[in-house]
Amino acid sequence: MAKILIIDDSALSRRILRKMLEGAGHQVLEAGNGIGGLECYFLERPDLTILDLTMPDMHGLDVLTKLRQLDPQARVVIATADIQSSTRALAVEAGAAGFLNKPLTADALLQAVAAVLGQA
């Protein structure tokens, strides 16, 4: 299956996402902040990144913008509790391949992952 990087400052969110993704056979990498996520991305080159928006060191949209500048092929799904349509529009404009609202269900997550990876 795919190598997936989770960038989220919440250890609980990372643990929940990891369980869902590993249950579907994916290899999971984790970063607890944006800077660590960028570093992990460039060391590991995951197939897909799942990215939170609200983090203390670096906002997720800034992480997304930097990822897409350095790797235009980066595939990123935003997973956030922010339900504003303007936030979704900004994420898509910045290059997000998908957008999910927390709390996530396993079905929604795995469908988004499959769609972005071209397996849907």
Domain parsing of the chain, residue ranges = 3-116
Mean pLDDT of 20-29: 98
How far is residue 78's CA from residue 59's CA, in Å, rounded to a whole number? 12
Residue 113 has pLDDT above 50, yes or no: yes
Confidence of residue 84 (pLDDT cuts 50, 70, 90): confident
Which pLDDT belongs to residue 114?
96
The CATH superfamily of 3-116 is Response regulator (3.40.50.2300)
Q: In b/e form, how buried is each residue of 91-116, taking b as 16+ CB within 10 angstroms?
A: beebbbbbbbeeebeeeebbebbeeb
How far is residue 34's CA from residue 9's CA, in Å, rounded to a whole number? 8
Residue 120 has pLDDT above 60, yes or no: no
